[in-house]
Amino acid sequence: MTLEENKTYEIIGKVESINSGAHFCNTTVLTKESEHINLKLEFEQLDEIAMGKIYQFLAQAVVKTEDDLVLKCTSIMPAEDVLDAEELATLLETFYVYAPVPLMDIKKGIESFLNKIDNEILKSITTKIYNRKKNKFYMHPAATKFHHAYVGGLSYHTFTMLKLIDGFLDVYTYLNKDLLYAATILHDMAKIEEISGVDGEYTKEGLLMGHLVMETVEIDEVARSLKVVDTEEVLMLKHMILSHHGQLHYGSPKKPQTGEALLLWFIDTIDSKFTVLGETLEHTADGSFTQMVAVLDKMRFYKHKVK
pLDDT in tens, 124-165: 999 999 999 988 888 776 544 444 456 778 899 999 999 999
Q: Decide if 165 contacts 112 (C-beta within 8 A).
A: no
Predicted pLDDT of residue 144: 43
pLDDT per residue as tens digits for the range 95-111: 776 677 888 889 999 99
Predicted pLDDT of residue 199: 56
Predicted pLDDT of residue 147: 45
**Residue length of the chain:** 307
For domain 8-80, is the CATH number 3.90.25.10? Answer: no
**What value does the mean pLDDT take over residues 27-56?**
89
Predicted pLDDT of residue 98: 66
Predicted pLDDT of residue 67: 65
**What value does the mean pLDDT take over residues 283-294?**
94
- Would you call 89 helix, strand, or coil by DSSP? helix
Terminal Cα distance for the chain, rounded: 53
Q: Tell me 290's DSSP state.
A: P
Find the Cα–Cα–Cα–Cα dihedral 73, 74, 80, 81, rounded to 10°.
170
**What value does the mean pLDDT take over residues 53-57?**
90
Work out the number of other CB atoms within 10 angstroms of the CB of residue 199: 15
Predicted pLDDT of residue 205: 92
Work out whether strand 54-65 and strand 288-289 pair parallel, antiparallel, or are unpaired: unpaired
274 vs 265: CA distance, rounded Å: 14
Calculate the alpha carbon distances from 214 to 8, 189, 241, 257 in Å: 41, 9, 10, 20
Residue 202 β-bridge partners: 195
Helix (H) or strand (E) holding 71: strand 68-78
The larger pLDDT score, comparing residue 31 to residue 141, is at: 31
Helix (H) or strand (E) holding 225: helix 211-225
Work out the number of other CB atoms within 10 angstroms of the CB of residue 197: 18
65 vs 62: CA distance, rounded Å: 9
pLDDT at 233 over 70: yes
33 vs 64: CA distance, rounded Å: 26
Residue 163's region, left for phi above 0, alpha for psi from -120 to 50, else beta, is: alpha
Lowest pLDDT segment from 76-80, 209-213, 237-241: 76-80
How buried is 150 (Cβ within 10 angstroms: 0-12 exposed, 13-18 middle, 19+ buried)?
buried
Predicted pLDDT of residue 167: 97
130 vs 70: CA distance, rounded Å: 41
Q: Decide if 195 contacts 141 (C-beta within 8 A).
A: yes
Q: What is the mean pLDDT of the chain?
A: 89
279 vs 74: CA distance, rounded Å: 43
69 vs 62: CA distance, rounded Å: 5
**What value does the mean pLDDT take over residues 167-173?**
98
- Would you call 142 helix, strand, or coil by DSSP? coil
At 239, is the pLDDT very low, low, confident or very high (cuts 50, 70, 90)? very high
Work out whether strand 25-31 and strand 8-20 pair parallel, antiparallel, or are unpaired: antiparallel
32 vs 34: CA distance, rounded Å: 5
pTM, to two decimals:
0.77
275 vs 118: CA distance, rounded Å: 30
Q: Decide if 303 contacts 288 (C-beta within 8 A).
A: yes
pLDDT at 89 over 70: yes
